[in-house]
Structure 1
Amino acid sequence: MNKPPLILLPGTLCDERLWEHQVENLSSFTDVSVVMLTEDDSIEDMAHRVLKEAPERFALAGLSLGGIVALEMVKQAPERVLKLALLDTNPRPPREEQMETWKKFIDMAEGGEFRQITKDYLLPVLIHPDSQENEELTSDIVKMADNIGKSAMVRQMRALISKPDGRAALNKIGCPTLVMTGENDTVCTMDMHVELAENIKNSKLVTIDHCGHLSSMEQPEAVSAVLQYWFQC
């Protein structure tokens, strides 16, 4: 039986580099594409755009913002998603303090401080403390943000501010689902992933050791191995 094509969705201020290792690893099994989430300012519209361009049926993996959009895609077109992987994903609606932070980032970007957002605010929480000294990794994270740019980041922030509560539809997900998180992810914490796994019927929770929020970049071999197993099962 032919394997379905695989769509990978990046997180906020992330581009194809987020999934570079996984694309290389999984391309021998199926057609893999990374779809950017930069054109829309709502989760619903992001999901609609990806679905409009996607094959009729496909496997789907998303990290962080990508996971939020993946959940919305399953909600909009459950019959089209054959397998689902949610990495470092928060299904809950935004808290007041989160919305204030995202609004602050919009103000910073529009006030000429776009590059400071990643360097001063995001890098310290996106990866494990031990990885902060990995210059290649931190440089790639900054380069991704620079590539996404100010305008797309503002749209992504607005989408997060207005994001829906993804929990109500979790028990309606019927496809095999992988829930994966970095052990030390402080952005999307372990309890969020436990909640995902407990409410999605056919799901498995996997934790990546010594790893923060950007798991696919920080521990690429481990994440690729788990995704390969999920995809081939």
Structure 2
Amino acid sequence: MNDTELLVFVPGLVCDARVWRHQIEGLSRQRPVQVASHGTLDSLGRMAERILDTAPPRFALAGHSMGGRVALEVLARAPERVTRLALLDTGFEALAGGEAGERERAGRYQLRDLGRREGMLALGRNWAEGMVHPSRLADAELMEEIHAMIARAPLAQFEAQTEALLNRPDRTGLLGQIRVPTLVLCGRDDAWSPLARHEQMA
């Protein structure tokens, strides 16, 4: 990556630039960086198209969680524009069929309904319990930062992005077509985006 090439950070569900703050601090000294904003777009494809509309002709991508899926959608549309790729704590398959898919759908709608009843802060507190490693749940500063980030997002954003995830395409076939240097990375104990999935991606 040369020092003039833009690096686009693609955040996950209702995440914002704050989640990338350490990477921005370190990497912006070497090259321009930009954080994608999905707003209330309700399709991963439309999120990808927004990135393509605002990025230069050639750029690098780093996507976290839902953002990794968006990065794959960018590649599916314009592989010649992406120079490097990082897929972090993410996935590539469509919503599972049968009982597994219904469990995921029900769990996501349960969070949505909590947000409708009690607001985004309550949603964030409930959601973060399952997203953060048990050893870090007692870190009050970390948890408050996560809760505050989620609470900054409007409920409409969570609802739209949830629909985008539930209607995500299967990109299994795309993985073998990636021809740019790619980092696939996750936490060993990540329960939402497990290590085995990332080993399959790699």
SS at 2:184 equivalent:
strand
Q: CA deviation at 1:144?
A: 0.7
Point out where structure 1 has 5 or more consecutive residues left out of the alignment: 198-233
Distance 1:50 1:96 in 2: 31
| Contact 1:59/1:83, CA 8 A, preserved across alignment | yes
**Normalising by the residue count of structure 2, what TM-score does the alignment of the two structures yield?**
0.92
- In the alignment of these two chains, the number of paired residues is 196
SS at 2:125 equivalent:
helix
Q: CA deviation at 1:127?
A: 1.6
Aligned counterpart, 1:104: 110
Distance 2:138 2:177 in 1: 42
Aligned counterpart, 1:162: 167
SS at 1:33 equivalent:
strand
Q: How does 1:5-44 map to 2 (within 5 A)?
A: 5-44=6-45
For the pair 1:180 / 2:185, whether they are aligned, the reply is: yes
Aligned counterpart, 1:71: 72
Q: CA deviation at 1:113?
A: 4.1
Encode CA deviations 1:145-202: one digit per residue, 9 max, x unaligned. Answer: 01112111111111011011121211111110000101111010011101110xxxxx
Distance 2:39 2:185 in 1: 24
Aligned counterpart, 1:60: 61
Aligned counterpart, 2:152: 147
Q: How does 1:88-127 map to 2 (within 5 A)?
A: 88-94=89-95, 95-120=101-126, 122-127=127-132
Q: Following superposition, which runs of at least 4 residues in structure 1 exceed 6 angstroms of deviation?
A: none
Q: CA deviation at 1:129?
A: 0.8
Aligned counterpart, 2:98: none
SS at 1:179 equivalent:
strand
| Contact 2:41/2:47, CA 8 A, preserved across alignment | yes
Distance 1:102 1:188 in 2: 15
**Normalising by the residue count of structure 1, what TM-score does the alignment of the two structures yield?**
0.80
Encode CA deviations 1:67-124: one digit per residue, 9 max, x unaligned. Answer: 010011111110000000000001111222111212222333333443322212x212
| Contact 1:109/1:154, CA 8 A, preserved across alignment | no
Distance 1:114 1:136 in 2: 18
Which moves more between the two structures, 36-45 or 58-67? 36-45
Aligned counterpart, 1:212: none
Distance 1:182 1:13 in 2: 20
| Contact 1:23/1:32, CA 8 A, preserved across alignment | yes
Point out where structure 2 has 5 or more consecutive residues left out of the alignment: 96-100
Distance 1:149 1:39 in 2: 9
| Contact 1:61/1:67, CA 8 A, preserved across alignment | yes
SS at 2:153 equivalent:
helix
| Contact 2:112/2:123, CA 8 A, preserved across alignment | no
Encode CA deviations 1:15-52: one digit per residue, 9 max, x unaligned. Answer: 11100000000011100111122230011111111111
RMSD across aligned positions (CA): 1.3
